[in-house]
Amino acid sequence: MPWPDRKQPETDASEKKSVGKGVFRRCDGCGVTLTAEAFAHNFEVCPECGQHHKLAAERWRALLLDDGRLEESDAGLLPTDPLGFRDGKTYSERVHSAQKSSRAKEAIEIGTASIEGEPIAYGAFLFSFMGGSMGSVVGEKITRMFEHATAARIPVVLLQASGGARMQEGILSLMQMAKTVGALERHRAARLPFFSVLLHPTTGGVAASFALLGDVNIAEPKALIGFAGARVIETTIRQKLPEGFQRSEFLLAHGMIDRITSRLDMRAELAALIRLFTRSHAAESPPLTL
């Protein structure tokens, strides 16, 4: 009687490499390897060194908003292809691919919510959708968010992570810079606050328009914030840029932003600022500066 074959079933190389995939994660900051669950539980902040990794929109809602609840508005606005743009693929094909991979309709979500009982208009860029780029729909939604907040007399909290204006819409995307800032200024004229939260990265046309126009500009640690990339600037001015240029810490030291706040403290900080500004404005006192 032959012995049973004890040989293990063959496993191909790709299957072997996938063992543990998705179970463990390596921190980009300190290099420590932890379970994916540990990162998720800490809202993608490394428990060892505090490095902030990208956080999905639904997790931002869970972190900041009461009961994680957002009453989304203008979700039906969808991008079109006004220029018939093609760069190997049509713009419509790229939008469809982005919608499929990000499971979102556009690069921003807006609506109304509350933070520690304080009502707000809320917006959050979705970097997973074409790098959070701003086209006509993104600009229109931001404009409507400010206009609704002005009519409802509530503050605006906007989380920004963007590569800038969307090239596939050409001048139509650049027009959104002026349109959104106009809506912001009408909101400010009504003596209502805007809290700008700068995530990694906040660049291009978004950084050059409303992103740095908050009554308080709050950035996450080590976030990249600026208009053009460092290499482009160095090539243009033919000079070596300082260490840490365009990072949150550099901008704070040079007066470009007001606060650097850990993601884990962001909810409490925003709630305190909202209460401070709304009560001050309700009492018709002069605008506050930090």
210 SS3 class: coil
Q: What's the CA gap between 282 and 211, in Å, rounded?
A: 25
Tracing tokens 């690069």 back to the chain, one arrives at: 107
- The residues pairing with 78 across neighbouring beta strands, listed in sequence order, are none
Q: What's the CA gap between 58 and 230, in Å, rounded?
A: 31
| Span between the terminal Cα atoms of the chain, in Å | 87
pLDDT range class, residue 283, cuts 50, 70, 90: low
Q: What's the CA gap between 178 and 150, in Å, rounded?
A: 18
pLDDT range class, residue 15, cuts 50, 70, 90: very low
pLDDT range class, residue 284, cuts 50, 70, 90: low
Tell me the one-letter amino acid at 225: I
Q: What share of the chain is helix, strand, coil (3-state, %, to 5)?
A: 40, 20, 40
pLDDT of residue 17: 43
Q: What's the CA gap between 82 and 168, in Å, rounded?
A: 9
Q: What tokens does 256 get?
A: 């470009």
- The conformational region for residue 111 under phi > 0 = left, psi -120 to 50 = alpha, else beta, is left
pLDDT of residue 7: 45
User: Any idea where the domains of the chain sit in the sequence?
Assistant: 55-282
Pairing of the two strands 225-226 and 194-203: parallel
Measured at the CA of 260, the angle between CA 254 and CA 265, to 5 degrees, comes to 170
Q: What's the CA gap between 96 and 105, in Å, rounded?
A: 9
Give one DSSP letter per residue of 274-288, joined into a string. HHHHHHHHHTTPPPP
| pLDDT tens column, 183-193 | 999 999 999 99
- The residues pairing with 112 across neighbouring beta strands, listed in sequence order, are 71, 121
Tell me the one-letter amino acid at 100: K
CATH code that applies to domain 55-282 = 3.90.226.10
**Would you say 194 and 155 are in contact if contact means Cβ atoms under 8 Å apart?**
yes
pLDDT range class, residue 11, cuts 50, 70, 90: very low
Q: What is the mean pLDDT of residues 19-40?
A: 88
Q: What tokens does 16 get?
A: 């072997």
Which residues lie closer than 8 Å to 233 by C-beta, 6 or more apart? 241
pLDDT range class, residue 282, cuts 50, 70, 90: low
| pLDDT tens column, 191-208 | 999 999 999 999 999 999
Q: List alpha helices for the chain, DSSP H.
A: 13-17, 36-41, 57-64, 91-102, 136-152, 171-189, 204-207, 230-237, 248-253, 266-282
